[in-house]
Amino acid sequence: MPIVSWKDEYSVGITKIDDEHKKLIAMIDEAHDYVESQPSSDAVKKLLADMENYAISHFDTEEAYMKVYDYPDTKGHKAEHATFLERVRAGDVNFADDTFVPGTVKILSFLADWLVTHILGSDKQFGDFLMEKGAK
Ligand SMILES: [Fe+2]
Ligand SMILES: [Fe+2]
């Protein structure tokens, strides 16, 4: 069962950003399915690493828009991205012992909640700003 699903209300109005958010949500769900059905630490570790890389490239996308459009809250928004990456990296510690399944599920739930909260708050605010500036 997915722990997070895309909803139209998550749209920030910029297609490229929405598409990347959809992909991140799908990656969280994929890792969640995996950890529940085939708790192999190597496979889950790889999914977390892929998620981290994808998140980095997504944050680069948003931060490039911030630069181009001189977004006033760039600093605060970037700090939120940095927190997300710290949490993804913290996932690694769960592979050191045999309780990594509940540990990883907990991390994935945190990431899912974080992502939805970030999209509905900071990213939507940013999306409104971009749309006002005529960004696509
Ligand atoms: Fe985002
Ligand atoms: Fe963001």
Residue 94 has pLDDT above 80, yes or no: no
pLDDT of residue 97: 53
What's the CA-to-centroid distance between 67 and ligand 1, angstroms?
Answer: 15
List of residues 6+ apart from 115 with CB closer than 8 A: 4, 21, 24, 25, 28, 84
Contact criterion met (CB below 8 Å) for 135 and 14: yes
| Domains parsed from the chain with CATH numbers | 12-132 (1.20.120.50)
pLDDT of residue 67: 97
Q: Which ligand is nearest to the CA of 14?
A: 1
| Ion ligand 1: protein residues whose beta carbon lies under 5 Å | 123
What's the CA-to-centroid distance between 117 and ligand 1, angstroms?
Answer: 10
pLDDT of residue 116: 96
What's the CA-to-centroid distance between 40 and ligand 2, angstroms?
Answer: 31
* Length of the chain (residues): 136
Contact criterion met (CB below 8 Å) for 13 and 47: no
Residue 49 has pLDDT above 90, yes or no: no
pLDDT of residue 37: 82
User: 63 vs 37, which has greater pLDDT?
Assistant: 63
Q: What is the mean pLDDT of residues 116-125?
A: 97
pLDDT of residue 85: 86
Q: Which two tokens stand for residue 22?
A: 């959809």
Q: End-to-end alpha-carbon separation of the chain, Å?
A: 34
* pTM of the predicted structure, to 2 decimals: 0.90
Q: Which ligand is nearest to the CA of 19?
A: 1
Q: How many CA atoms lie within 13 A of 21 on its CB side?
A: 27
- Look up tokens 């680069």; give the residue: 60
